[in-house]
Amino acid sequence: MSQAIDAGRPLTVLTEEERMFFDSVKEFAQAEVKPLVSKMDQEAHLDEGLLKKLFEMGLMGIDIPEEYGGAGGTFFMSILAIEALAQADAAVSVVVDVQNTLVANAIRRWGTDEQKKRFLAKMAADTVGAYALSESGAGSDAFALKCRVEEKGDGFLLNGQKLWITNAGEAGLFIVFCTVNPDLGYKGITALLVERGTPGFSIGKKEDKLGIRASSTCELIFENCAVPKANLLGAVGKGYKVAIETLNEGRIGIGAQMVGIAEGALGHALGYTAERKQFGKPLNAFQGVQFALAGLHAEVETAKLAVYNAARLKDGGFPFLREAAVAKLVASLMADRVTAEVVNLYGGNGFTKEYPVEKYFRDAKIGQIYEGTTFMQLATIAKAIMPE
């Protein structure tokens, strides 16, 4: 079996600290994640020992402040970690992605001092977070929620279901978006911090997915689930702000994941075409193959620049709504094209599970679906560029 060549060299826009961080995560991914990829994919289960190592490496609390036990890094460093991990396994990458760009990010921005002390410390140490927004009738129409919450005594009573919740199988903390009244539309949306084991809360069906199979995606069920008022994230009826603003940042994370997937696939293609011989010479001796590889490399680098740009804008405190949508759009479309072409370069071997590239192809597909479909990104970009 061919060996992958490094197709994910960091761009020169990285600082020395960022480059060292990227290299350390990539080294970890190749040493600790890569040997487990096939087994985790087949079993559709994240290795528990690997999850523990992600915490030990500080990758589950990259930009959680040091005062809460986190690494105190930047959003951009989270993006680098997501990219580096996705080169080995997109499923592991998305676990880190949701933890950092969605859950910890939302608590840092919207949580009370007490919530930060309590929950961020747990997330930095050993608690996986999940972001529960989607429902059967609330996908792209994210605020058509039916999951209801009502004030009851000194707390809230939560009833309803959530679907397609990433990290649900491992999570100990969930940000649950619900509504005080569906007739109020987005003005009724409320965010609650719900801990695993809360009476009335259970994990339902686990989805059997095409790709990112080691990442758990499950249904959540709430039946008169009592949540204390201290677990209200933000304000009643203001949960839509938590969701929208957090998802804008999460989309940059998905863009990074797609870049990493494409880099991983292309790295294998570079190795394979150097070893595989036809007509008496390596595949990469043919100009057609050289041009194909060069074109794929150019696509990866272009999408990477869009992702890095959006992340830099976020860290710099500049507006990044349009740039985040662009990053996710171009990176997800690119990953789909690149992984498909890599399978083609492998020929019949690319269609078998003996070689690693079919998994990259399967994993890339989700990029055009979750955290805002391709159509939703186009709608966001169109709204941003159209004159008033």
C-beta separation of 86 from 303 below 8 A: no
Measured CA angle at 252 (ends 251, 254), to 5 deg: 65
The tokens for 269 are 């293609």
- The Cα 263–Cα 57 span in angstroms is 23
Cβ–Cβ contacts within 10 Å for residue 38, how many?
14
49-57 long-range CB contacts below 8 Å, 24 or more apart? 50/92, 51/95, 51/128, 51/170, 52/126, 53/28, 54/92, 54/95, 54/96, 55/124, 55/125, 55/126, 57/25, 57/28
Are 363 and 261 a contacting pair, CB within 8 Å? yes
HSE (side-chain half, CA atoms, 13 Å) at 149: 25
Check 151, 223, 371, 388 and give the catalytic one.
Answer: 371
**C-alpha–C-alpha distance, residues 164 and 160, integer Å:** 14
Is 371 annotated in the active site?
A: yes
d(CA 113, CA 118): 9
In a 10 Å sphere around its CB, with 0-12 CB exposed, 13-18 middle and 19+ buried, how is residue 92 labelled?
buried
Q: Where are the alpha helices (DSSP H) in the chain?
A: 16-28, 37-43, 48-56, 75-88, 90-97, 105-110, 113-115, 121-125, 239-275, 287-316, 321-346, 357-364, 374-385
The tokens describing 327, both together, are 């990053």
Terminal-residue alpha carbon distance, the chain: 56
- Rg over CA atoms, the chain: 21
Q: Which residues participate in catalysis according to the annotation?
A: 371
